[in-house]
């Protein structure tokens, strides 16, 4: 508790409540449910936050609507300047923020810092992008006519985020939306509201320093119910939702019911293919980081390893040995590689999945224990597991959000491995390890990986922000972050301009009165 107080005071947060911003615009949160937050590291109490009531939610949306009218008038490069200032503050507070991510979510401190760095990176990216909201000029089929394509701000962007990236996902959406002239209302995961309060506080400070309305970046605490309000709300033209496929299906249907737009970043079931031509040393390192990093709680976590039969036993033995040497424990300690799971429900999910997969015929090779660590008795620690399995097993088809790695053997040509890799409902991330160009190019071809991310000689997790991030099939089809992902936060408009004195119709249609 002392530690958290210190972090919050370094960040200038005096009060968890009101938690919408730093100004007066919204007033205090009064009515909603109270939620106590405990650290997954040792179960220690961190703070209590309050959910917003429906009335308070409406107030926030109202303020955001008002802010939008002002914000969209600010020239895009000037909006970029605000994002630049947010990036600078994030640089200044990188360490306390990284530590807060670790305390509240449980990922190791290095990864906590990495997540804050990702926010800084996307700010830099968005600043550059703010001068590049390029449209098109299009030649017209009619004389003395021209056509243009322009991008206009959309309005309020609702951001629903997951617990496992408690700060980065917000910034991916919010910073791009901001330079596009949109305003954001963020509903963070109910498991990680403190990280969200901290980010919100930083964004609100920058707005205040620049005399801009608070409603440009808003934040509101609540659980799935609040997410549903957002999905139903016609005042929110785009809902960007990150989380489980179950949540995504619900949000997608509700938003589609009012013909709104949704951007979905949902579950993955990511695989690495190791062919007979793999650099095994490199592949092993990538697999370890991918499978046990963030304690198996990344959407891009390596869940399946599809190994050629000629190297299978070798890889299996080496992996089991490497798992034996994993340092599991307090994620704030420098030598820890695996921290805790988010909560006891996740621990239960881990043990249930292992039990079920063994009933289906899976063979547990190592790990699987629930750990009680000295001095961290209230924490949610498990021993990462490796299971020999078939791709068709029901448990292998599901995303269990915990460190379970399934080893799957293939024989013959690389297409056999690719078919296995694609034979799941999800389509987020994939990778191949091979020094054979025929294998790697096949993997990247039209008959190769069907995922949004397909890597060669690099693991499934740890994407850079410069590329578009997201996946196909039940992963939801959305793309965020780099490349041209900004376009989803804008509405596209086609303009036809006639500078002649005639009024010719397209397709040569005659309509003379």
> Which residues are catalytically annotated?
265
* Distance of alpha carbon 249 from alpha carbon 272, whole angstroms: 27
Residue from 97, 160, 207, 272 touching ligand NAD (CB under 6 A): that is: 160
Q: Which of residues 271-330 bind ligand NAD (CB under 6 A)?
A: 299
First to last CA, the chain: 80
> Under the criterion CB under 6 A, does residue 244 sit at the interface with ligand NAD?
yes
Binding window for ligand NAD (CB under 6 A); candidates: 131-139, 238-246, 281-289, 459-467: 238-246
* Distance of alpha carbon 371 from alpha carbon 384, whole angstroms: 10
Residue from 147, 224, 276, 468 touching ligand NAD (CB under 6 A): that is: 224
Our measurement of the distance from residue 34's CA atom to the centroid of its chain's CA atoms, rounded to an integer in Å, reads: 26
* Distance of alpha carbon 171 from alpha carbon 196, whole angstroms: 10
> Under the criterion CB under 6 A, does residue 242 sit at the interface with ligand NAD?
yes
> Under the criterion CB under 6 A, does residue 440 sit at the interface with ligand NAD?
no
What number of chain residues touch ligand NAD (CB under 6 A)? 30
When the beta carbons of 65 and 244 are compared against ligand NAD, the nearer one is: 244
Binding window for ligand NAD (CB under 6 A); candidates: 113-121, 147-155, 266-274, 359-367: 266-274
Is residue 405 within 8 A of residue 386, CB to CB? The reply is yes
Is residue 57 within 8 A of residue 226, CB to CB? The reply is yes
When the beta carbons of 82 and 347 are compared against ligand NAD, the nearer one is: 347
Residue from 85, 130, 164, 277 touching ligand NAD (CB under 6 A): that is: 164
Residue from 227, 260, 403, 482 touching ligand NAD (CB under 6 A): that is: 227
**Which residue number is nearest to ligand NAD in terms of Cβ?**
227
* Distance of alpha carbon 213 from alpha carbon 139, whole angstroms: 41
- Residue 150: strand pairing partners: 493
From 360, 357, 441, select the one nearest 400 (Cα to Cα). 357
* Distance of alpha carbon 62 from alpha carbon 60, whole angstroms: 5
Distances (CA, A) of 284 to 169, 188, 309: 28, 34, 16
Sorted by sequence, the CB contacts under 8 Å of residue 471 that are 6+ apart come out as 265, 266, 268, 426, 427, 428, 429, 451, 452, 453, 477
What x/- string results for residues 32 through 71 when contact with ligand NAD is judged by CB under 6 A?
----------------------------------------
When the beta carbons of 16 and 207 are compared against ligand NAD, the nearer one is: 16
Q: Minimum distance between the CB of residue 479 and ligand NAD, rounded to whole angstroms? A: 10
In the block, which residue shows the tokens 């307090």?
Answer: 330
Binding window for ligand NAD (CB under 6 A); candidates: 121-129, 157-165, 202-210, 273-281: 157-165
* Distance of alpha carbon 336 from alpha carbon 329, whole angstroms: 6
Is residue 126 within 8 A of residue 178, CB to CB? The reply is yes
Q: Minimum distance between the CB of residue 262 and ligand NAD, rounded to whole angstroms? A: 10
Q: Minimum distance between the CB of residue 339 and ligand NAD, rounded to whole angstroms? A: 16
From 84, 81, 139, select the one nearest 497 (Cα to Cα). 139
Q: Minimum distance between the CB of residue 57 and ligand NAD, rounded to whole angstroms? A: 13
Please report the beta strands in 7-80, taking only residues with DSSP state E, as ranges in sequence order. Answer: 34-38, 45-50
> Under the criterion CB under 6 A, does residue 401 sit at the interface with ligand NAD?
yes
When the beta carbons of 130 and 475 are compared against ligand NAD, the nearer one is: 475
> Under the criterion CB under 6 A, does residue 265 sit at the interface with ligand NAD?
yes
Residue from 190, 214, 439, 450 touching ligand NAD (CB under 6 A): that is: 190
Distances (CA, A) of 2 to 5, 142, 197: 5, 71, 18
Give the 3-state secondary structure of 250-268.
Answer: HHHHHHHHCCCEEEEECCC
Residue from 38, 228, 235, 261 touching ligand NAD (CB under 6 A): that is: 228
When the beta carbons of 199 and 299 are compared against ligand NAD, the nearer one is: 299
What x/- string results for residues 469 through 488 when contact with ligand NAD is judged by CB under 6 A?
--x---x-------------
Sorted by sequence, the CB contacts under 8 Å of residue 250 that are 6+ apart come out as 228, 231
When the beta carbons of 181 and 188 are compared against ligand NAD, the nearer one is: 188
What x/- string results for residues 452 through 471 when contact with ligand NAD is judged by CB under 6 A?
-------------------x
Binding window for ligand NAD (CB under 6 A); candidates: 22-30, 183-191, 308-316, 410-418: 183-191
How many separate helices (H) and strands (E) can be counted in the chain? 15, 23
> Under the criterion CB under 6 A, does residue 243 sit at the interface with ligand NAD?
yes
Handedness of CA 405, 406, 412, 417 (dihedral sign): negative
Two tokens, residue 456: 């060669």
Using CB under 6 A as the criterion, which residues of the chain lie in contact with ligand NAD when the complex forms?
160-165, 187, 189-190, 223-224, 227-228, 231, 242-244, 247, 250-251, 265-268, 299, 399, 401, 428, 471, 475
């Amino acid at each position: 508790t002392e530690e958290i107080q210190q972090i919050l005071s370094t960040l200038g947060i005096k009060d968890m409540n009101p938690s919408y911003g730093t100004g007066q615009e919204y007033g205090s949160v009064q009515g909603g449910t109270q939620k106590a937050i405990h650290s997954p590291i040792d179960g220690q109490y961190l703070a209590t936050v309050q959910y917003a009531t429906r009335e308070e939610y409406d107030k926030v949306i109202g303020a955001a609507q008002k802010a939008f009218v002002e914000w969209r008038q600010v020239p895009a490069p000037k909006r970029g300047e605000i994002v630049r200032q947010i990036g600078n503050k994030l640089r200044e507070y990188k360490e306390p923020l990284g530590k807060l991510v670790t305390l509240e979510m449980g990922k190791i401190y290095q990864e906590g810092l990495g997540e804050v760095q990702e926010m800084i990176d996307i700010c830099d990216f968005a600043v550059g992008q703010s001068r590049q909201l390029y449209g098109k000029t299009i030649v017209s089929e009619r004389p003395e006519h021209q056509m243009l394509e322009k991008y206009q701000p959309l309005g309020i962007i609702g951001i629903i985020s997951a617990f496992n990236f408690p700060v980065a996902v917000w910034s991916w959406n919010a910073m791009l939306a901001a330079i596009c002239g949109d305003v954001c209302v963020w509903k963070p995961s109910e498991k990680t509201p403190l990280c969200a309060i901290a980010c919100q506080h930083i964004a609100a400070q920058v707005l205040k320093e620049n005399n801009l309305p608070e409603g440009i970046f808003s934040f509101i605490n609540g659980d799935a119910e609040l997410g549903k309000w957002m999905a139903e709300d016609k005042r929110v033209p785009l809902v960007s939702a990150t989380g489980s496929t179950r949540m995504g299906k619900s949000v997608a249907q509700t938003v589609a019911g009012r013909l709104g737009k949704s951007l979905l970043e949902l579950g993955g079931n990511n695989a690495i293919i190791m062919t007979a031509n793999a650099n095994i040393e490199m592949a092993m390192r990538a697999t370890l980081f991918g499978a046990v990093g963030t304690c198996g709680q990344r959407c891009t976590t390596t869940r399946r390893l599809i190994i050629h039969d000629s190297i299978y036993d070798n890889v299996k033995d080496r992996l089991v040995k490497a798992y034996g040497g994993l340092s599991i424990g307090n994620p704030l300690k420098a030598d820890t590689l695996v921290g805790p799971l988010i909560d006891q429900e996740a621990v239960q999910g881990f043990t249930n999945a292992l039990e079920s997969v063994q009933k289906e015929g899976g063979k547990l090779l190592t790990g699987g224990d629930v750990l009680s660590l000295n001095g961290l008795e209230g924490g949610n620690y498990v021993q990462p597991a490796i299971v020999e399995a078939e791709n068709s097993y029901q448990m292998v088809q599901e995303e269990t959000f915990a460190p379970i790695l399934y080893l799957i053997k293939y024989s013959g040509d690389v297409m056999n491995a690719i078919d296995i890799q694609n034979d799941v409902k999800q389509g987020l991330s994939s990778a191949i390890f091979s020094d054979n160009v025929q294998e790697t190019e096949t993997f990247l071809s039209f008959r190769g990986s069907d995922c949004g991310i397909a890597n060669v000689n690099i693991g499934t997790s740890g994407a850079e922000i410069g590329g578009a991030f997201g996946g196909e099939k039940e992963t939801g089809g959305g793309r965020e972050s780099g490349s041209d992902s900004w376009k989803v936060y804008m509405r596209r408009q086609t303009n036809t301009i006639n500078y002649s004195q005639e009024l010719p119709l397209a397709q040569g249609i005659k309509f003379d009165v």
